[in-house]
Amino acid sequence: MKIIHTIRELQQFLGKARGELKTIGFVPTMGALHRGHISLVGQSVRDNDITVASIFVNPTQFNDPNDLLKYPRTLDADVQLLEKNGCNYVFAPEVKEMYPEPDTRTFDFSDLERVMEGAHRPGHFNGVAQIVSKLFDAVQPDRAYFGEKDFQQLAIIRAMVRQLKMGVEIVACPIVREPNGLAMSSRNTRLSEEQREKATLISKVLYESKNQKTTQTVDQLKQWIINSINGEPELKVEYVDIVDGSSLQSIRSWDETTYPVTCVAVFCGDVRLIDNMIYN
Ligand code: PAF
């Protein structure tokens, strides 16, 4: 496995592979890798001749400077894990390489970005689109792999690819959970043992909401989820939204969509966790 720090070097290697008609799969990450990321790498290795993973903590997508500062950075361990799992190239640029000058581009994702994460983290998805479009330009992958845990991010990236007419196939991979149900996240490393245990309530409530859905209205179910999670003093719901999985707009009744999804953001202490449940 080769570790590359510049776009120029990356393009030299990948140009050669493309010349040999090899397919390129790409897994963009911010490092602090866990089994969720590794499942994306595994899928890419199965689907493509070559797999490239990037490790870059993108400053433009952090609306909270403290969050950026505290974001876990574990480059050596990440590189080892990628090598063990069949990745061919790791692209780990410095900030200057990706942003030689400030990126002033503004994307418009309309209603898709006005809800949930977009509403609570102003500028976040603009920053995600900035970096992912730059990474796609640098790697020019045939396929790129994203986890369904970041459900709204996936919809935004699909919209970006359509808007910019990029020829990359976006592949969505299911959420990977700890044995106790907690959705895998780089942020989980910031939870204490006790908080990790308490945070499992989020997925327990989401799984149970599948059963509750058969007897409750959308509003009742939403309130039930909020009350159940907030019942644990260590957890504080930021939002619960039940949406159509394509438009991401809130639904008021179950017959509005065949693709209902509940998305939640919850603080466990000062760690912000997101999770979701696709019902059908
Ligand atoms: O999901 C992430 O880890 C990041 O948002 C991404 C897609 C790597 C862009 O920085």
Q: Is 127 in the pocket of ligand 1 (CB under 6 A)?
A: no
Percentage of the chain beyond pLDDT 90 is 98
CA distance 18 to 141: 10
Q: Looking at ligand 1, which residue's alpha carbon is closest to its atom 1?
A: 29
How high is the pLDDT of residue 280?
80
Contact predicate 114/247, CB 8 Å = no
For 48-102, how does the pLDDT look when each residue is reduced to its tens digit (9 = 90+)?
999 999 999 999 999 899 999 999 999 999 999 999 999 999 999 999 999 999 9
User: Is a pLDDT exceeding 90 seen at residue 22?
Assistant: yes
CA distance 213 to 218: 8
Q: Looking at ligand 1, which residue's alpha carbon is closest to its atom 8?
A: 29
User: Is a pLDDT exceeding 90 seen at residue 192?
Assistant: yes
Our CA angle for 155, 160, 166, nearest 5°, is 125
| Phi and psi at residue 213, to the nearest 5° | -55, -30
Q: Which residues of 40-54 are buried (b: 16+ CB within 10 A; e: fewer)?
A: bbbbbbeebebbbbb
Contact predicate 225/189, CB 8 Å = no
pLDDT category, 235, cuts 50, 70, 90?
Answer: very high
Tell me the two tokens of residue 83.
Answer: 């090598």
245-249 mean pLDDT:
98
Contact predicate 24/17, CB 8 Å = yes
User: Which among 34, 37, 120, 124 is annotated as catalytic?
Assistant: 37
Determine the distance separating the centroid of ligand 1 and the alpha carbon of 153, expressed in angstroms: 8
188-199 mean pLDDT:
96
31-38 mean pLDDT:
97
